[in-house]
Amino acid sequence: MITGASRGIGRAIAERFAADGMHVIINYLRNDEAANEAVHAIAAAGGSASLMRFDISSSLAVEEALASWEEAHPDEYIDVLVNNGGIRKDNLMIFMQDEEWQSVIDTSLTPLFYITRRLLKGMVSHRHGRIINMASLSGVKGLPGQTNYSAAKGAMIAATKALAQEVGQRHITVNAICPGFIATDMTKDLNEKELSKNIPCGRFGKPEEVAALASFLAGEDSSYITGQAIQINGGLYT
């Protein structure tokens, strides 16, 4: 399952996982057109995917959606979870409104708790699982104008490290990916040409490059890697 996977990095991960032979559950909330397009693209490439529409920021919606899925698939469990869904609402803290702070925390951090808690039950009972939390460069070094987003992603990294210690003996790994500037809808309002001057690799990253890292962390070759926050930023920050 990949949350917020109808576009951008989430969709790239969904396509890569499907190419790896996984059945991918794409979570989304509003954009039916993009979600259906993602499923069709995966099917056209020979992969398998399905949609699960629910609000990741609602504990009740998460419980209802996942309970319904489990009822329909009694002999299966979700063994790979990518907590990817999130939003940005940038502003200087002195001007930041309550809603700008709370909505980012509610959508970019709290769903990690709601969804992971629910799916851990299956992973623990089957003694296998992969949890990948999509953090950010903003959560590692902090970025001006993103105190809300930096707080959410920094907390996600801390939660990753703590949870990895709780479930490691059950053969469940928990890692965070911390992308820098990746060319997606979320960064389309940024000045790519100017910002790229500060990136040693000289460009924004591609969603497919992040997906390749997620693919590795979801596989068996990464079974001894857990509790890590892995940066993928073109050398912008180390």
Residue 89's identity, in one-letter code, is K
Give the residue carrying structure tokens 């609402």. 89
Catalytic residue among 77, 149, 224, 237: 149
- Identify whether 224 is a catalytic site residue: no
Q: Please give the Cα distance from 161 to 177 (Å, whole number).
A: 12
With beta carbons less than 8 A apart as the criterion, state whether 197 and 236 touch.
no
Q: Reduce the secondary structure of the chain to three states and give it as a string.
A: CECCCCCHHHHHHHHHHHHCCCEEEEEECCCHHHHHHHHHHHHHCCCEEEEEECCCCCHHHHHHHHHHHHHHCCCCCCCEEEECCCCCCCECHHHCCHHHHHHHHHHHCHHHHHHHHHHHHHHHHHCCEEEEEECCHHHHHCCCCEHHHHHHHHHHHHHHHHHHHHHHHHCEEEEEEEECCECCHHHCCCCHHHHHCCCCCCCCECHHHHHHHHHHHHCHHHCCCCCCEEEECCCCCC
Q: Which residues are catalytic?
A: 149
